[in-house]
Every structure is written in structure tokens, then in C-alpha cells.
Structure 1
Amino acid sequence: MEGIQAFQKKGHKKIRNVFKIPSLTKHICEHGVLCMTDSQNLMVYRNQLQKSLCAIEEYLDKTEESAEAVSPDKSLGRLSRMEAMQDQQLILEARRRKKMQKVAVLSALQRIENNQFGDCIFCGKPISPERLEAAPESSTCVSCS
């Protein structure tokens, strides 16, 4: 009951066993967990994930040419060639990470479609709203990650 009273003291309104926080447009259940039954919350996360997906795809398109191997016929000095190869490796690693992020975003979008978004894929417990706000593509709770 301490959590409920703390919510009420802060001026949050109780709506059918769900608290609405004025500063946020999210509904929090009694246990302080985001209720994923609210379709508006899911739309917010879906929009964030779709924006992330567009940004990732744009980055991958922009860096595709830079990730190509340094051709030996380029007239570069030995040090310049090594710098170009090092730059290429950095870009390849950044692209690899972006591709992994893209898979996570697509997976989160699929979980929204399957009504499984917001639950840890390992333990099944709800993922904290703070974690989802920071990284909506999160598929695990803090304990399982």
C-alpha cells in the first residue's frame, strides 16, 4: 500500500485501479509497472521504434559505400592506406552494431503485433517503464539482462 499512497500524495489520479501520471501520458499499474493493455502506449512505442528503424536504415544506406574494402589501386601512401583500412574497420563495426539494433527493433515491433511487448522474453515479468522509455527495443527485464 505504500506505493499507492506515494502515488496519491504526488497528485496522481487513480483511474479504475490504474494511476495516471499528469507529467506522462502513461498508465502505471499498482505495482509501478506500465500497463501494456493501453493502446495509446503501444502506439507511442510503435512510433518510436519505427522512427528508430528509419534512422538505422538511413545510416546503413549512407555508410554502405564507406564500408567497402580499400582498393589496392588507390594511390595512397603506406600510412594513408593503413588509416583508410582502419577507418573502414571502424565503419564495419558500427554497421554491425546498427544491424543488431535493427534486428532488436524489428523484434520489438513484432512483439507489439503479437501483444507480447513489455514482458521479459526469459522470465515473463513486466519490463520496467523506465527501461522501455530508454530503450523501447528491450526484450528483457533488468534482472535477466
Structure 2
Amino acid sequence: MDDHDIAALKQALLDRLAALDEEDARGSAGQRTVDLDQQAVGRLSRMDALQNQAMAKAQAGRRAGDRRRVLAALARMDEGEYGYCTDCGDALSPERLRADPTLPRCLSCTRG
């Protein structure tokens, strides 16, 4: 991979990080504590609210995992280790990195 390819992948990672920040801002309202007042909200509505809250928290967890992978890939770029398997050191295929720029391992090491 040349410098142009890595620059394009870095921009894709930075764009993904910005998108995750936007999703976090939009999803924060869904994670608020659900009111216990049965008079204000019916039982089924409260159950729906609790389910929506659980889904919002699960999505936040997924975004946190995505953010960790993006930041790790950016750190590998800064260290000059990007594009190489973190286990065996072999070069990762450019096609795989274009499909998912956060990949840390080659296909052989991923398969075990």
C-alpha cells in the first residue's frame, strides 16, 4: 500500500469517528432513566420505554466498540504499523483494509 492509499483509509477512519460522535449525541436521549410514575405513563408504554432504553444502551456499547477499533487503527497508523497483522506481522491485503480499515489481523490469524 502506498501513502495515498493509507491517507484515504485514514480519512475514512476519521469520518467514521465523526459519525460515531454524531450517533452518540443522537442516542443519548434514549438512555435516560425511565420514569416510574404509572399515572403519567401506562404499563405497556413503560415497558416499551424500558425496551427502547435497553436498545439505546446496546447501540451505545456497539458504538464504543467501533470507536475503540477506529482509535486502535489510527494509533497503528501513527506508529507505522498499519497494514500489518498484529499477530504475525504479515501485510494485510489492501482489499480487506478497504472493506474494513479497522482490521488488525490477517485472514490466517483471524481463522486461527
Q: Name the TM-score, length of structure 2 as normaliser.
A: 0.91
**Alpha-carbon offset, residue 77 of structure 1:** 0.8
**Alpha-carbon offset, residue 143 of structure 1:** 2.1
Alignment partner of 1:63 is 2:27: yes
Distance 1:48 1:138 in 2: 13
Please, which runs of 5 or more residues in structure 1 have no aligned partner?
1-34
Counterparts of 1:85-100 in structure 2, within 5 Å, are 85-100=50-65
Between structure 1 and structure 2, the one with the greater Rg is 1
Aligned residues: CA RMSD: 1.2
Decide which structure has greater helix share. 2
The one-letter code of the counterpart of 2:34 is: V
Residue of structure 2 in register with 1:52 after alignment: 16
Higher relative CO (Cα under 8 Å, sequence separation at least 6) belongs to 2
Distance 2:51 2:108 in 1: 37
Calculate percent identity across the aligned residue pairs.
Answer: 33
Decide which structure has greater strand share. 1
The one-letter code of the counterpart of 1:102 is: R
Q: How many pairs does the alignment contain? A: 109
Residue of structure 2 in register with 1:41 after alignment: 5
Point out 4+ residue stretches in structure 1 off by more than 4 angstroms. Answer: none
The one-letter code of the counterpart of 1:99 is: A
Alignment partner of 1:127 is 2:103: no
Q: Name the TM-score, length of structure 1 as normaliser.
A: 0.71
Please, which runs of 5 or more residues in structure 2 have no aligned partner?
none
Residue of structure 2 in register with 1:117 after alignment: 82
